[in-house]
């Protein structure tokens, strides 16, 4: 199993914290600090999963998630956001996120989400749970 995680986050402190936590759990971590760089790395670096901040300079996380999905990529996506409204969560799931976590989020919560999505076959299970939650 590939354990390469792409973190697309514009806040350097948050990026470093996620990189440290993920590395401690055996994941290889790539960092992108903006949407364009993140989308490029998602296409070229072959990550097994993307952790994606919704609020990014230039191209936001919703747009990146949408672009990954329209390209037909089944890459698991964990969205992180300070946008806690149910409508924002629903948008994230509708665009193809597998998980939507509200900031501030503990490193252990991120690790748990990543671990659950990295298990073979878990994306289908996770997607079914989210569809029930959002009502698709």
Q: What is the pLDDT of residues 27-65, one digit of tens each?
A: 999 999 999 999 999 999 999 999 999 999 889 999 999
pLDDT at residue number 115: 95
Please tell me the total number of residues recorded for the chain in this structure. 136
The owner of tokens 């989308």 is: 39
User: How big is the chain by its Cα radius of gyration, in Å?
Assistant: 13
Number of structural domains the chain divides into: 1
pLDDT at residue number 74: 87
pLDDT at residue number 119: 81
The end-to-end CA distance of the chain, in Å, is 30
The CATH number given to whatever domain includes residue 85 is 3.40.50.2300
pLDDT at residue number 126: 43
pLDDT at residue number 1: 52
The domain containing residue 65 runs over which residues? 4-134
Residue 134 has pLDDT above 60, yes or no: no
The 3 state secondary structure assigned to 19-76 is HHHHHHCCCEEEEECCHHHHHHHHHHCCCCEEEEECCCCCCCHHHHHHHHHHCCCCCC
Residue 133 has pLDDT above 70, yes or no: no
């Amino acid at each position: 199993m590939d354990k390469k995680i792409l973190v697309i986050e514009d806040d350097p402190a948050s990026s470093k914290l996620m990189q440290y936590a993920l590395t401690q759990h055996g994941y290889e971590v790539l960092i992108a600090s903006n949407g364009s760089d993140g989308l490029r790395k998602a296409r070229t670096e072959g990550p097994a999963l993307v952790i994606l901040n919704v609020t990014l300079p230039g191209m936001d996380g919703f747009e990146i998630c949408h672009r990954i999905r329209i390209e037909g990529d089944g890459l698991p996506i964990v969205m992180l956001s300070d946008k806690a409204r149910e409508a924002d969560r629903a948008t994230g799931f509708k665009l193809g996120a597998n998980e939507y976590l509200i900031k501030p989020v503990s490193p252990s919560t991120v690790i748990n989400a990543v671990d659950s999505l990295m298990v073979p076959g878990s994306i289908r299970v996770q997607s079914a749970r989210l569809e029930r939650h959002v009502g698709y």
